[in-house]
Amino acid sequence: MADYETPTPKVTTGPIRGSRKIHVGPLGVKMRAINLEPSCGEPPLNVYDTSGPYTDPSQIIDIARGLPEIRRDWIRARGDVEEVQQREVRPEDNGQLGPDRSGGVDPFPHVRKTVLRAKPGANVSQMHYARRGIITPEMEYVAVRENMGREALIGHIRDGQDFGASIPDHVTPEFVRSEVARGRAIIPNNINHPESEPMAIGRNFLVKINANIGNSAVASDVASEVDKMVWSIRWGADTVMDLSTGRNIHDTREWIVRNSPVPIGTVPIYQALEKVGGVAEDLTWEIFRDTLIEQAEQGVDYFTIHAGVRLPYVPLTAKRVTGIVSRGGSIMAKWCLSHHKESFLYERFDEITEIMKAYDIAYSLGDGLRPGSIADANDEAQFAELYTLGELTKRAWAQDVQVMIEGPGHVPMHKIKENMDKQLEACGEAPFYTLGPLTTDIAPGYDHITSGIGAAMIGWYGTAMLCYVTPKEHLGLPDRDDVKVGVVTYKLAAHAADLAKGHPAAKLRDDALSRARFEFRWRDQFNLSLDPDTAEKYHDQTLPAEGAKTAHFCSMCGPKFCSMKITQEVRDFAAKQNTSEFLATTNPLPSGEGDSPAGERGEGVTSESEAEAGMADMSKLYNETGRELYIGAGDREHD
């Protein structure tokens, strides 16, 4: 990627190879157009774009100022918010008590002195508007964004298995409203994060992915912290969770939110724990509540709240192989045990909801008791918590607050669907947000793949958002390359799920790339892929020459062999004649094959002589056609 002229500190900018930013409709919805070679006569392919202004060369990026507030007027025009003094930042907000793991981070230079909050008695959640029949600009933005090129497919036969989802042929603003109103989709966008481009998470929309970032164990500058977010969304992260701990977490978060075009999620209990020096027993409702307000005013779009980790469930984890692997879950379990009291998150849930609706923050109800190994999958502790999350979902909905549900974890393939089915039943179709799941424990170093398998499957079954896993899972902290591999792996898993669900627009990209592959449009093949840089790099390792980019062969077979060419011959040949005539001259199929698709074509049985004569003609005809074309071999697809 080129670095465009931007004031320091710098982050990754520049267009994604072969693409340009386009703005669709009156709202100027940002999408990415992939240009194809003129020779193919195909229009550019428009794809969903999460990368924000960073991939738009026409934009000046200055992370010290933050992104434009595209939702500012929409929010204010509703007349239900008021400006209030921002809560004063205290030393403990930056974790002075904790270990210094993020290095020196200066405060964001343009912190807003006043922030927005719902007027007394008002509710500014998208769900609240939706339930009153109001279609917001956010909903309109989502509708345009989700459609992609699906208009081109009106009338096409749907090909997929959606397990009871209700994916429309065309997404209208009204459809978005109805999905949000019934809680089947959420649009996470805090009124204090007006920089965000609205997006929806729900099983009837495109499957989304989340990338986790966190402050570095070693000191690093602000730009590199912000760039983790920028890098994640460049490759397709739909939301980003900031899991930072230790010092400067408040300031780091401010830098990230002000520069993020995607929703930002956090786990507030982490910061609350910092404020009590890491001693879980010392956590109190007051400290936790103060932390929610602090982050709400900064603009965090969704909070992971582990309110389902209830005192009676904790002992259910005692017999597990890997016990409690969720950090938030273990913190609350420790609190419950040490006080032998019910979780304050559970007890105070409705008070938390009051805060959520004043800023339009969505719940991501945490699965603190999710399994951490194949051995613990689908056990009593996990499902006890899930049903409690279902109970809490209904309590949140009673106040028109948006909710999604977090899911496992580590689950063998045959137990994945049960997770989806129980979640749909227990949580009234609230969006499911799962971590993988990993389908085996024996491949540390490859857990982006063990989990990518589970992610694709549960996405197909109905999960709305997939939380990525990097190759470093269980082993260490992901670096820049790990983050990219994790994001791309989850993008392909999410897309495989969209394809299998029969999403009307998903197949457009596969078909465009397959046509490019068949026609040896190498550049188009690279540009249409999820990671054009890697695709071209791999190609060039074998055939670096510029000429090879347009050559009608590939390194797998060389110039002499190419199955793509023989197929073109088959086409020319089939085109040059009436197929029924062709078939009539072929050998009749052996009897006993009537139950096969071949048998069903019912070729007419012809006499030996007729067949012989016809074959001679065909052979002559063929030899007059493109037999000069060299013939071939496919790629190394094992023969």
Angstrom distance (rounded) from CA 248 to CA 104: 8
- At closest approach, how far in Å is the CB of 546 from a copy of itself? 16
The 3-state DSSP class for residue 559 equals coil
- At closest approach, how far in Å is the CB of 110 from a copy of itself? 30
- At closest approach, how far in Å is the CB of 319 from a copy of itself? 8
Please say which residue, 136 or 378, places its beta carbon nearer to a copy of itself.
378
- What is the length of the chain? 639
- At closest approach, how far in Å is the CB of 632 from a copy of itself? 5
Please say which residue, 84 or 615, places its beta carbon nearer to a copy of itself.
615
- At closest approach, how far in Å is the CB of 118 from a copy of itself? 27
- At closest approach, how far in Å is the CB of 206 from a copy of itself? 13
Angstrom distance (rounded) from CA 434 to CA 539: 34
Tokens of 241: 């969770």
Tokens of 1: 């990627």
Please say which residue, 260 or 439, places its beta carbon nearer to a copy of itself.
439
Burial class (CB in 10 A: 0-12, 13-18, 19+), 609: exposed
Angstrom distance (rounded) from CA 324 to CA 333: 9
Residue 630 forms beta bridges with which residues? Answer: none
Angstrom distance (rounded) from CA 508 to CA 522: 18
- At closest approach, how far in Å is the CB of 322 from a copy of itself? 5
Distance, first Cα to last Cα, the chain: 37
- At closest approach, how far in Å is the CB of 415 from a copy of itself? 8
Q: CB-side exposure of 384: number of CA atoms within 13 Å? A: 14
Tokens of 155: 């009338």
Please say which residue, 198 or 368, places its beta carbon nearer to a copy of itself.
368
Q: Taking Cα atoms as reference points, which of 576, 578, 580, 598 lies closest to residue 589?
A: 598
Distance from the Cα of residue 432 to its chain's centroid: 12
Please say which residue, 248 or 529, places its beta carbon nearer to a copy of itself.
529
- Residue type at position 335: W
Please say which residue, 76 or 415, places its beta carbon nearer to a copy of itself.
415
Q: DSSP for 306-340?
A: -TT--GGGGGGGTT-SS----HHHHHHHHHHHHHT
Distances (CA, A) of 439 to 234, 420, 421, 454: 28, 15, 18, 6
- At closest approach, how far in Å is the CB of 311 from a copy of itself? 5
Please say which residue, 430 or 456, places its beta carbon nearer to a copy of itself.
456
Please say which residue, 421 or 441, places its beta carbon nearer to a copy of itself.
441
- At closest approach, how far in Å is the CB of 117 from a copy of itself? 26
CB 333 within 8 A of CB 281: no
Please say which residue, 64 or 243, places its beta carbon nearer to a copy of itself.
243
CB 135 within 8 A of CB 20: no
Residue 45 forms beta bridges with which residues? Answer: 34
CB 258 within 8 A of CB 225: no
Please say which residue, 129 or 433, places its beta carbon nearer to a copy of itself.
433
Please say which residue, 61 or 256, places its beta carbon nearer to a copy of itself.
256
Sequence-distant (≥ 6) Cβ neighbours of residue 188 within 8 angstroms: 199, 201, 239, 263, 265, 301, 302, 361, 362, 402
- At closest approach, how far in Å is the CB of 6 from a copy of itself? 29
Omega before 9 cis (within 30°)? yes
- At closest approach, how far in Å is the CB of 134 from a copy of itself? 31
Please say which residue, 200 or 374, places its beta carbon nearer to a copy of itself.
374
The 3-state DSSP class for residue 229 equals helix
Sequence-distant (≥ 6) Cβ neighbours of residue 237 within 8 angstroms: 50, 209, 210, 211, 262, 468, 487
